Structures are given as structure tokens and as C-alpha cells.
Chain A
Amino acid sequence: MSNSLSPPNAVPKQSADISSLEHRIRQLELEKDALEQQVRALRLEQTQSYRTASTTENTPEALNRLQQVAGLNNAEIARYGRQLILPEFGIQGGSGVGRLGIVDHDTVDTSNLHRQIIHNEARQGMSKAQSAALSIRMLNPHCEVVVHDLVLDSSNAQPIIDAYDIIIDGTDNVATRYLLNDACVLGKKPLVSGSALRLDGQLTVYNYRGGPCYRCLFPTPPPAETVTNCSDGGVLGVVPGIVGCLQALEAIKIATGMGSQDPPTMTLFSANSTTLFRTIKLRKRKAECIVCGDSPTVTKLIDYVRFCGSSATDKTPDLFMIPFQERLTCEAYKAICDSHTPHLLLDVREKVQYDICSLPSSMNIPLKHLPGQIKLIQESLGSGSDKPIYIVCRRGNDSQPAVRILQEHGVTAGEIKDVVGGLEKWTDRIDPDFPKY
């Protein structure tokens, strides 16, 4: 045996080799398991996608025809065993959700994946409602999933709400939040509302056991220009996840009657605070509330986009403050750069965004600081300058008020123009390697 020939001091080295090889084998085995699992998941996804497509029922008539969920079979008892034996639950409430409807009109985008973990990399461009249904089926084939691949609005919301027992609001805009609230009050359904932005989350069960509705607490929608969405304000991926788990908990509590004597509360989550959770005790519904009060004036669904003065998506609308012909296209700005025309390029995005990516030799002054930084711009231009100033931002919205501010201060004798469509357009039209975030 070769072992016996080795000098004694080589033994530790050899045993180290063996253990490192064994470690490598274990790693490869794990990798093989993971790959096999992926293959199984993809196979399941393939078969499920046919089933989802064939069982999708969207019409109100179809919803009314949906039958009561039957009792538990053995497979379900095996799956929910750990919950069934909880003293607080028992056979009545230990099971999962019999029927789950998913409403979403959007398609899966890379920028959703850090927080919307029900979707994945491979599903980009797929309908979010379909993608969510696939994931749920892969987790649990006992749950009936109904896909509503549509924009929820006043014309279609009520029959959908009426077809379910508990409504969970995970929407991303003000208009849809008021729409869901009113539809739940009119349909007498509890609304488990959760929201998240940046590092903060909120959770409340509205319209449940005499508690308030969303309008009782927030009768006036915030002006559109003061509302920040996740796309502009950012959101830490785990925050909506934490709020979502709490929403699932509240839905389970409602379904099982657990904690039904508890007074209504609002839970505030602050990821960056030493006190992560705070619970605010709420009052009963307001007698003077215009939808859930004693003499309501909202007795059917209204136009929520008009009521809130903002659109029913979280996409930022384009601003038209300056006429198109007074602005620069990306191509026109590219030509200015290529001809080496002297100018100042001002980037008015927030510093955190500027740090992600920026055009060469640009100067960063965020829009909100611009009025206080006029001197700085004048200094960098030199006095009495007629150098033109070109302004860029993320989408060509903030750059427009920036043009007006600089014009009012008369910082240059040259022209002051902004780039239409901002840096997102720059990526689309000029430089595909310039990052979009």
C-alpha cells in the first residue's frame, strides 16, 4: 500500500487531502440534488401552466358558480399536521386557503424581483397573476387558484370582491386603495391592508367587526405630487415581505376567528428604528364616514383615479411643463457631445441615484437643493458666461422645473435646455450599456 511508504510526517497532509476530497464530493452531491430539484420544479411548472390556463375563471358568473371548499383529505391532513395540532386551531382552522384569487394586471419585471419573491428570473414579461398562480401551485396543489389578469377598477371590482371572504390589499397606489376600501365596505368584507415604502410598513384590518375603514382614518387622499411610489422612493426588499407575512397572519386569524375580540389596531413597522413594531389602538368606525358611516354618501363605486388625482398604477406619469420644441432629444444632446461644444451638464437626480450611474463630466445638484446652489453653478461657469447648460434627470420630469429655476435666476446668457426622457431614454436610444435602475 502506498500509505505504508509515506514518511510519518506526511500522514496529516494526506488525511487533509482526503477530508477536502470528501468535502468536495458532498458539495457535488448537494449541487446534484439542487439541479434535480430544479428539473422537477420546471417539469411541474410545465404541467401546471396548462392546468392554470384551463382553470382560469374571470367572469362574475363563473365566480358565483364556484362551490364551497370541501373538508380535508388525507394529503391535506398530512400537509397541515403541524398546524392542526395547535390548540388555538384544530381541524376547523388548521388547513390552508381553499381558494385564492390573485388580481394583477402587470407583468414581471426584473426590478420587482428583490421584493416580489413569488416571481422569478425566468418569468420576466409573464403576467404577474399567472406567475403567482404557478408558484402557489408548486408550493401547494391543494389550493385552488383563480387568476384575475386585469386592472381592477370601479367597473369590475365589486363582483370579484363579492366572490371572496377576505380581501388582502397589497396594491401599490392610492386610487386602488380607496377603490378596495369602498368595495369591501359595500360588499361587507374585511380588508387586510398592508403597505410599504423605503424602510416603513403599515398594517391594518379595515371594515372588520365594527372597526374603522380606510376612509375613517384617511378621509382625504394625499395630493398626487406628495405621493411617493416604490419606483421613485425605493423600498427595501424585506419590508414588503415582513408586512406581507403579517397580512397572511391577519387573514388566517380572520378565517379562524382567532383574536376576534381584540380591538382594531394599526401596526407600524420601521426597519431603521430601535422599536421595529408599534401598535396603535384604533377606535370604532366613524359615524360621519362617507362610506361606512350612519348616512353614507358613497353608495356605489366612484371614479377613484379622479378622486385621488393620480393614476391607478405606481408608474410615474410624464410631466409636460416645457414645450417639446424647447427641449433636447437624446440624439441632439449626443451630437452636442460629439462636436465637443463647451457646455455644462447638470444632473438633478438625488445623490444616491447619481452614485449608481452618471454621464461623464456631469455636475450633480439634486432638484430640491437647486435654488440654494445657484452660486455654485455660476462659479463653475465663470462670470458673464454664455456657456449653455443642459439638464438631465432619470426620466425627464425633474429636469423641467430645473430649467425654469435656472432661467429665473439668469445663470447664463447661453441656452438652458433639458433632455427629453432623461437617462432612461439615453439607455434606450444611445447607450444600451448605461444602467437602468
Chain B
Amino acid sequence: MSHFKVLYFASAKDASGKESEEFEWFEGIGCEKLTQLLVERHPDLAPVLKTSMFAVNMEYMDQGLSWTVQPRDEVAVIPPVSGG
């Protein structure tokens, strides 16, 4: 069984209640499917994901382009932080 890891930052960490966790991997997890998987597990992530960016293995992933998560990838959910 293959897995991939998700890292949550800032408000995504609050919404999921976790810093990171494992997901079961399968073929064809693109941006949309990933969003769906995350919201299924943590409904509170839904509004956060609307304004967050994704990075895979520490590299920014454009939500408009087609890409898929590979086994053992590390996906980061990065919402903007605006405080200072």
C-alpha cells in the first residue's frame, strides 16, 4: 500500500488540527481530487483551501495546470498569512 504525506501550515493547521498526516495513494490524484480528499477528512478545510496554494515536494504547484501526486510525495497546504 502506497501513501503520500500532507503538511498543513498556518490556518490549514488549525482547520485540520494536525501538522501533517498520511493519505492512501492511488492513481490520478490531481489538484481537484486532492482538494476533495482533504475536505472529506477535514470539512473545516473547505474555506481554507479556496485561498491556499499547494506545493509538492517543496515545489509550488499551479492549480490551473495538470499534475498528479506520486507515491511518497510530500504535499504542503499553504494558506496566506497576513498578520504582522
Tell me what chain A mostly uses at the interface: helix, strand, loop, or mixed.
Answer: mixed
B80 — which chain A residues lie within 8 A by C-beta?
174, 177, 195, 202, 217-218, 222
Q: Pick the contact of A174 from B53, B59, B82 — CB < 8 Å?
A: B82
Q: How far is the CA of A228 from the CA of B11 in the complex (A)?
A: 9
- A283: chain B residues within 8 A (beta carbon): 60, 62
- Please determine whether A281 and B60 come into contact, CB atoms closer than 8 angstroms: yes
Q: Does A170 contact B (CB under 8 A)?
A: yes
Complex contacts, B79 vs chain A, CB 8 Å = 222
Interface residues of B in 1-31 (CB under 8 A from A): 9-11, 13, 19
Cβ-defined contact, A221 with B84, below 8 A = no
- Cα A196 to Cα B83 in complex, Å, equals 5
Interface of B is mostly: loop
| Contact flags A158-198 to B (C-beta < 8 A → 1, else 0) | 00000000000111111001000000000000000011111
Across chains A and B, the number of contacting residue pairs, with CB separation under 8 Å, is 93
Given contacts A221-B51, A226-B48, A268-B9, contact A288 B84 (CB under 8 A): no
Contacts of A202 in B (CB 8 A): 10, 78, 80-81
| B55 in contact (CB, < 8 A) | yes
Bound-state CA distance A266–B60 (Å) is 9
C-alpha gap A196/B50 in the complex (Å):
20
**B43: A residues at CB distance < 8 A:** none
Smallest CB separation, A56 vs chain B (Å)? 24
Q: List 8 A-B contacts (CB under 8 A).
A: A169-B84, A170-B84, A171-B84, A195-B83, A201-B81, A202-B10, A268-B76, A280-B60
Q: Hey, which bits of chain A sit against chain B, CB under 8 A? A: 169-174, 177, 194-198, 200-202, 217-218, 220-223, 226-230, 233, 235, 240, 266, 268, 270, 273, 278-283, 286, 288, 314
